[in-house]
Amino acid sequence: MILRDAVRVLVNNWDGSYTVPSRRLYPHQWSWDSAFIAIGHARWSPRRARSELLSLFGAQWRDGRVPHIVFNPRVAEGAYFPGPEFWAARAPSGSATSGIVQPPVHALAAWKTHLVEPDPAFLRRIYPRLVAQQDFLRAARRSPEGLISIVHPWESGMDNSPAWDLPLQAVETGVAGFIRRDLDTVSADERPTDRDYERYVGLARAYRDSGYQVPGAFQIEDPLFNTAYGVAESTLAKIADVCGLDPEPHEREAAAITQAMVEHLFDGALFQARDVRTGGLIRSSSAAGLTPLMLPELPAGVADALITTAVDRFAVKDAVLPSYAPDAPEFDAARYWRGPSWTNLTWLVWQGLKERRPDLAATLADAMIGAVSQAGFREYFDPFALRGHGCRDFSWSAALILDVVA
């Protein structure tokens, strides 16, 4: 039943070559959504999984960046804010896009698709694009410490995480002249605040006005983004191998980023974000700090400390994974990325636990299935009451359930 319903959500959200995250709230193609969605499609239609990824990379920029939104020209300009007129950017393919990026989880999605239905020709086609995506991050976003930075909270995928409260204080508010469309669909107390949006818009405008070259007042090394980058390198090593290419440069890069993360972002219990402008760690209780469990070369002692934190502070033994530790004062069970449980974040930590702690991984898988069985394929869930929040029929909630039960 749950599997049939999950496929129904994906079929209804399919737009011919890719899947929208949600019909009303997000009516275009989103970058990391497409990666998670491909992982789900692979379980019932690997052809759609390959199409999902190839259509996203069809809008890759010349500098290698994969924009976080590819706009559907048939959707009205006002349907989503900020839309194509705001971003004023075009890929070489002619598609209107945004100019920022999201965590690079796409190599992993391509590899998982290949594992379900081996297709070396697909891997050969997508490999150079995945490499270019990483090249862009190295060229444009690497700090002297060897870590990759994001220049907008939207690039983290966890838009209003409490981890961004402090660095956002340096960003101007009072930006006017825009109308939020998200509140047409979702109640205001489940979304970012207007003050958050003023800062998001101000930051995006400044980056746009620099030709998407010069970072503004927000420059952060985020543990989830860097984990995605590192996992992409170790996955590219496997893909290179299948393509008859040298995996070694990727293996080296994966080891280097893991080491830099342990050295600069680990606080002894959790990975933290670092503010590139001040050089200081931003101490928060975000579940993003657990995702380095996915890095294959994470030292065992560090992994053990993360697992202790996951059990003690994120209740991984007896609840779905909250996006923010419930014992922290900023925790909010219903407001977007400030506490609710998200299927993609849970799936990332589940991946990281599968080999290290199969017992805890199984608990998380059951919790993910329990949440959607009770509340449906909602965008996010109250981690304790399992009440659904945000939009309904959300694509990655459906897609990742298909992967978890496979």
**Separation CA 29–CA 382 (nearest Å):** 26
Q: Which is nearer to ligand 2M8, 182 or 221 (CB)?
A: 182
Q: Is 3 exposed, middle or buried (0-12, 13-18, 19+ CB in 10 A)?
A: middle
- Write each residue from 231 to 270 as x if it is in contact with ligand 2M8 (CB under 6 A), else as -, in one continuous string: ----------------------------------------
Instruction: Kindly state whether residue 155 participates in binding ligand 2M8, applying the rule CB under 6 A.
Output: no
User: Which of 21, 40, 215, 322 touches ligand 2M8 by CB under 6 A?
Assistant: 21
Q: Is 32 in the site for ligand 2M8 (CB under 6 A)?
A: yes
Which residues, numbered 40-69, are part of the site for ligand 2M8 (CB under 6 A)? 68
Name 33's Cβ contacts closer than 8 Å, sequence gap at least 6: 19, 21, 26, 395, 396
Which residue in the set 26, 87, 207, 381 belongs to the binding site for ligand 2M8 (CB under 6 A)? Answer: 26
Helices of type H across 80-119: 84-87, 106-116
DSSP characters over 162-199:
GGGHHHHTTS-----S---SGGGTS-GGGS--HHHHHH
Q: Tell me if 103 contacts ligand 2M8 by CB under 6 A.
A: no
- Separation between Cα atoms, residue 299 and residue 161, nearest integer Å: 27
Active site residue 159: yes
Tell me which of 87, 122, 154, 350 binds ligand 2M8, using CB under 6 A: 154
Stretch that binds ligand 2M8, among 151-159, 169-177, 204-212, 352-360 (CB under 6 A): 151-159
253 is catalytic: no
From residue 274, alpha-carbon distances to 3, 116, 191, 268, 358 in Å are 40, 37, 25, 15, 31
Nearer to ligand 2M8, 247 or 322 (CB): 322
Shortest Cβ distance from residue 103 to ligand 2M8 (Å)? 9
Using CB atoms within 10 A of its CB, is residue 180 exposed (0-12), middle (13-18) or buried (19+)? middle
How many C-beta neighbours within 10 Å does residue 174 have? 8
Q: How far is the CB of 318 from ligand 2M8 (least distance, A)?
A: 26
**With binding defined as CB under 6 A, does residue 159 bind ligand 2M8?**
yes
Is the peptide bond between 82 and the residue preceding it cis, with omega within 30 degrees of 0?
A: yes
Question: Which residue number, 28 or 250, has a Cβ lying nearer to ligand 2M8?
Answer: 28
- Closest to ligand 2M8 by CB, 33 vs 222, is 33
Rounded Cα distance, 351 and 360, in Å: 11
Comparison of 71 and 154: residue with beta carbon closer to ligand 2M8: 154
Binding residues for ligand 2M8 (CB under 6 A): 21, 26, 30, 32-33, 68, 154, 157, 159, 182
Active site residues: 159, 379
